[in-house]
Amino acid sequence: MVTITGFETRDVRFPTSLDKTGSDAMNAAGDYSAAYCILKTDVGCEGHGMTFTIGRGNDVVCYAIPYLAERIKGKTLESLVENWGKTWRYLVNDSQLRWIGPEKGVIHLALGAVVNALWDLWAKVLGKPVWRIVADMSPSEIVSLIDFRYLTDCLTPEEALAILEKAQEGKKDRLQEALENRAVPAYTTSAGWLGYGEDKMRGLLEETLGQGYKHFKLKVGGDVEGDRKRLTIAREVIGYDRGNVLMVDANQVWDVQEAVTYMNELKEFRPWFIEEPTSPDDVLGHKKIKDALAPLGIGVATGEMCQNRILFKQFLAASALNVIQPDACRLGGLNEVLAVLLLAAKYNVPVVPHSGGVGLPEYTQHLSTIDYVVVSGRKSVLEYVDHLHEHFARPARVENGHYVTPSEPGYSVEMKRESMDRWAFPGEEGVSWWRSDEARVILEGEKI
């Protein structure tokens, strides 16, 4: 028996705004950050979960985490995972905390950290990576991980079970592919940030092409002429007929009609999809954009800011997207992501999890492996940004254009202690970078 005796939160921020890593049309200067929940136990083993933000406000998420972690303190791991669906419902069911959601916003980001910390702990106790726990479960065990409230008009537990049973066929071969690091092809956004100059962009495209990448994503939405210039460079490097795929991402800057007009200006570059063309809450708006762009052969994707499974249900039921992009910790942890993977399988829409952030590739490598091996049986592509992995105890890695399937126990987001201390916010004098003079340019600079 393992008892959860307490927890710790950590506010960790990296000053990525200094070199514009992560910059896009909406987020000009993000500092990639993680709000951690670290569960403590009576056996010494810890569970590490985090959620991702881009700087200011990370402390607000850290403030919310204890409200949820307190609900599992004193309980045994075994009692919590015995009926995971029930535990998840219990975690979202504090009526007073629910009022400041429900199941969205800061309280839901905090939930993602707590739920994933519990998965990390469980995986370490079992001695397996998280994806493998799910891959070793029977279809009915997987169904029991999910809270189906608000889903049953589109996906019942019986339908979910049928999807998983059907996916048993060929599962053994797909599992073998996962063990040989061939289950999850990667795509790169490294060259695509809006704040990068043309030379840096061209250099990074050439470099990533040389590394075996076939899918490349660029930020757009700043201005049409600038975007046409950048996409021209991208197509010069990756070509049109060499099997390389281009994607573009507008990070929500447009109105619905504006998105359609703008994308018509970029159609000759033949992107596979436009990501986040408009507000992530606008189901019907996405449907309009999708219908308007279909004749151009351009798809529509969103999901990194979809707040919960209910919104994904609407997007899918309305046939408003060509690709969905759930986030591992904006949703309420793995259990809610599994619900979304099953919804996507039912509506036959590919899943390309959102990974553009610190710690996100570490999480999503598990999600895409689960999707391929256990749920959809369909190989997708998974975003990989080559930043900040050195801070993780067991970082995500890409080789030969594929993610190396995680083999170490846990959910892979445990950060090295020295990195946590060095980048702690506001941190300790003499230890944290944020206390140094170098940080003043951010701390005292304009908030954009």
**Strands laid side by side in the 4-13 sheet:** 4-13, 33-41, 47-53
Q: For residues 137 and 253, which CB has a smaller minimum distance to Mg ion in the complex?
A: 253
| Contacting Mg ion within 201-260 (CB under 5 A) | 249
Pull the structure tokens for residue 314: 């609407």
Least CB distance to Mg ion at residue 105 (A): 19
Where in 65-84 is the site for Mg ion (CB under 5 A)?
A: none
Catalytic residue numbers read: 219, 354
d(CA 413, CA 87) in angstroms, rounded, equals 22
Where does this chain touch Mg ion (CB under 5 A) — which range of 43-51, 103-111, 139-147, 270-278?
270-278
List, in sequence order, the alpha helices (H) in 192-254: 198-210, 224-238
- Nearer to Mg ion by C-beta: 103 or 249? 249
- Cβ atoms < 10 Å from Cβ of 420: 19
Report the residue number, 275 or 282, with the smaller CB distance to Mg ion: 275
Interface map 322-341 toward Mg ion (x if CB under 5 A): --------------------
Rounded Cα–Cα distance for residues 92 and 89 (Å) = 5
The whole-angstrom separation of Cα 33 and Cα 328 is 15
Contact window for Mg ion (CB under 5 A) among 31-39, 76-84, 274-282, 412-420: 274-282
Q: How far apart are CA 310 and CA 103, in angstroms?
A: 10
Rounded to the nearest whole angstrom, what is the least distance from the CB of residue 276 to Mg ion in the complex?
5
Shortest distance (Å) from residue 238 CB to Mg ion: 19
Q: Taking the complex as a whole, how short is the minimal distance between the CB of residue 249 and Mg ion, in angstroms? A: 4
Query: Three-state DSSP class for 401?
Result: coil
Nearer to Mg ion, 303 or 406 (CB): 303
Q: What is the C-alpha to C-alpha distance for residues 416 and 338, in angstroms, rounded to an integer? A: 28
- Shorter beta-carbon distance to Mg ion: residue 249 or 282: 249
Q: How far apart are CA 160 and CA 292, in angstroms?
A: 32
Amino acid identity, residue 432? Answer: S
d(CA 36, CA 413) in angstroms, rounded, equals 9
For residue 226, the minimal CB distance to Mg ion (Å) is: 18
DSSP 3-state assignment of 361?
helix
CB of 198 to Mg ion, least distance (A): 21
**Between 332 and 353, whose beta carbon lies closer to Mg ion?**
353
Minimum gap (Å) between residue 26 Cβ and Mg ion: 9
Give residue 57's region: left, alpha or beta (phi > 0; psi -120 to 50): left
Q: For residue 236, what are the CA distances in angstroms to 244, 246, 270?
A: 11, 12, 13
Q: How far apart are CA 187 and CA 245, in angstroms?
A: 9
> In the complex, which residue's CB is closest to Mg ion?
249
Residue 162 phi, psi (nearest 5): -65, -40
DSSP 18: G
Please identify, using beta-carbon distances, which residue of 209 and 306 lies nearer to Mg ion.
306
Question: For residue 279, which phi and psi values (nearest 5 degrees)?
Answer: -55, 135
Which residues form the interface with Mg ion (CB under 5 A)? 249, 275
